[in-house]
Chain A
Amino acid sequence: MPQVFKPKANTLSWLIMAGIVVVPLAVALFGIVYEHSANATRVDLVRDQPVPFSHKHHVGDGGIDCRYCHSSVETSAVAGVPPTETCMTCHSELWTSAAMLAPVRRSLSANAPIRWTRVHDLPDYVYFDHSIHIAKGVGCTTCHGEVETMPLMRKAHTLTMGWCLDCHRAPEKYLRPLDRVFATDWSPPPDQITQGVRLVQAYHIEVDHLADCSVCHR
């Protein structure tokens, strides 16, 4: 009987056998890497907006407080996107004919809100509440990054569940005194952990239950 296979079939069979192990592992590895990549988390990705609003200009250069526009951040789950009227407190006097601000003026005259593209969007099954974070000493820049330096808004952090849990499991790494919550120039002091542990006690934070499922998923 003649040989069924040529010698090169040996090489092929070794390759296939290696592939049975390697290919599924590679696919799994790719999935894991992709899940962590900026492609999936959209971190640092600038989105198109109807008006190229600059936080750098308004906060960094102008020194406007976060709460001037995001007025419900201390009392409600959502920080609040300002109504067009808030923009017009200044822009009815300043840059009144700037082409860049045409959508703002249109919004006011049509009495229809500007449709901003949401940059920080959590899944609907996460019951995130801004007010409790503000009340317990989590500063704006801790989650949103150095907004005062951003000409266009982008996510500074991934907002993945792992990222949330990083703080929920050890809040002392990030907490600040209440009077520094809205400070844009705050950075952790050298003895942050010592201070943080003290703040955790002062704020009555129960760290043991901070990472329970029902804290965020009701």
Chain B
Amino acid sequence: MSEAVAHPAAEAPSGATYLPRDATYGSITRDIAAPVFAPAGWRWWTAFLVTLALTLVMIFAILWLFIEGVGIWGVNADVVWGFAITNYVWWIGIGNAGTLISSMLLLTRQRWRASINRFAEAMTLFAAAIAGLFPILHLGRPYLFYWLVPYPNVMTLWPQWRSPLVWDLFAIASYIIFSLLFWYTGLIPDLASLRDRARTRFGQLVFGAFALGWRGSARQWRRFDAFYWAMAAMAVPLVISLHSVVGLDFAAGLMPGWQETIFPPYFVVGAMFSGFAMVVTLAVPIRWGLRLETFITPAHFDAMAKILLMGSIIMGASYATEWFLAWYAGNVAERLVTQFELSGSYAPLYWLMLLFNVALPQLFWWRRTRRSLSAIFAIAILINVGMWLERLLIILNTLSHAYLPARWSDYAPTVWDWALLLGTLGFFTFLFVCFVRLVPAVSMHEVRQLAHAQAELEDDDAVLA
């Protein structure tokens, strides 16, 4: 190992504690694994039942959609995309962050990621899977979605490779497969720990089977590190390409307000922004529900708040770029859309979005806000709402105010639009509620590595003193 890796904790900002000083390998494993083996309390059962009910709402909303068709939604002949694609872009954005956090922070040796990367990756996986549903649901004939796949068919038809919708399929599919593998790879040493701690034969068998015979030998660790780091290095371009492709779905659409070169990077940053906000939103209840206060500390929230602050500044710059270019390019339709954005049918929502995405996060300039759990939780939720509004308004403003004035019409969602949105939120939480009881929500082996690095650092300090 190189010198740089030997003291990763040294990179932690001064004064920040990501781990209690008295934590031992044993106590770390015991505390994190506890929720998996302990009986579920009332908090878990309440969450389970509520989210299960919402999952049923989602299933019902989808079934009714399949029976009746997209006519049950608020979409019309002009605004053809509505909530479905809004939700798709929003969910896939959230799905971006887990892998981005995990890989980017691993590659930049931010060891504090150890406490949040596991559930951030789980979040990614669930969000990407839910996002993947929406492009299928919004089809007139959802059962023919597989026509996007190139396979030798009796129509001798090949997908239209020039269409971003085809790129979408490949981007989402490869991303979901990758996220699953990345998440699972990081889980293997922990599954082995669970296998060894399981007291029932069933637990031993299940955890043992998924641990793939992990023994924690030096050779296995060397291979694990090589593989995991290589995956992390692949993850970064993959994540960036994924949301760039989502941006291209719009940018290649030749519509005023969409056809902008800024879209791919602007979507990537937006995804990271909303994803980090979702990580914060999830970290607070997980920390409380699983009693992981020792491992997810105010220092973690402080670090995440700084990233949110940076994201909000870039988002603000992106919006400003859009306004500037609409004026500077001098295209009439483009200017009309921007005018409509700022003062048209959806203007209140647009200003609300600017408040949530750009103005409110500026409070993170103050250390007091970054250290206040309730403040950061509230702002993170509002950023989630703001980012959802942003995705909605990208669609509505352009489609309600496109080139032909004859086709200017407003969009209003129906109860089924809301049911599906609420249902998928419930389903997402449901998956999460199940996840925290099945595997450790925090990466045990990485927290142990953090403890190891911290102890080494203290030894060095002692020697120097």
Contacts and interface: CB of A to CB of B under 8 A. Distances in A.
Interface of A: 1, 4-5, 9-10, 13, 28, 32, 35-36, 40-41, 158, 160-163, 165-166
Nearest to A16: B209
Contact of B204 (A4, A41, A163, A165): A4
Contacts of B448: none
A160 B155 CA distance: 6
Contacts of A35: 153-154
A32 to B, nearest CB: 6
B204 A161 contact: no
B212 A162 contact: no
B208 interface: yes
Contact of B156 (A5, A32, A166): A166
A215 B407 CA distance: 28
A52 B152 CA distance: 37
A161 B154 CA distance: 6
A24 to B, nearest CB: 11
A148 B216 CA distance: 76
B151 A28 contact: yes
B207 to A, nearest CB: 9
Nearest to A161: B155
B155 A162 contact: yes
Contact of A41 (B154, B155, B196): B154
Interface string B146-178: 000001111111000000000000000000000
B196 A162 contact: no
Nearest to B204: A4
Contacts of A160: 154-155
B205 interface: yes
Contacts of B335: none
Given A4-B195, A13-B209, A13-B212, A165 B156 contact: yes
A162 B153 contact: yes
B150 to A, nearest CB: 12
Interface residues of B, number: 15
A40 B209 CA distance: 41
Contacts of B208: 4-5
Contacts of A5: 205, 208-209
Nearest to B151: A32
A87 to B, nearest CB: 35
Given A13-B209, A13-B212, A36 B204 contact: no
Contacts of A165: 155-156
Contacts of B204: 4
A1 B204 CA distance: 11
A45 to B, nearest CB: 16
A212 to B, nearest CB: 13
Contacts of A28: 151
Contacts of A32: 151-153
Contacts of B195: 4
Contacts of A158: 154
Interface centre among B154, B157, B195 (most CB of A within 10 A): B154
17 contacts: A1-B196, A4-B204, A4-B205, A5-B205, A5-B209, A9-B209, A32-B152, A32-B153, A36-B154, A40-B154, A158-B154, A160-B154, A161-B157, A162-B153, A162-B155, A165-B155, A165-B156
Contacts of B154: 35-36, 40-41, 158, 160-163
A27 to B, nearest CB: 12
Contacts of A161: 154-157
A115 B152 CA distance: 37
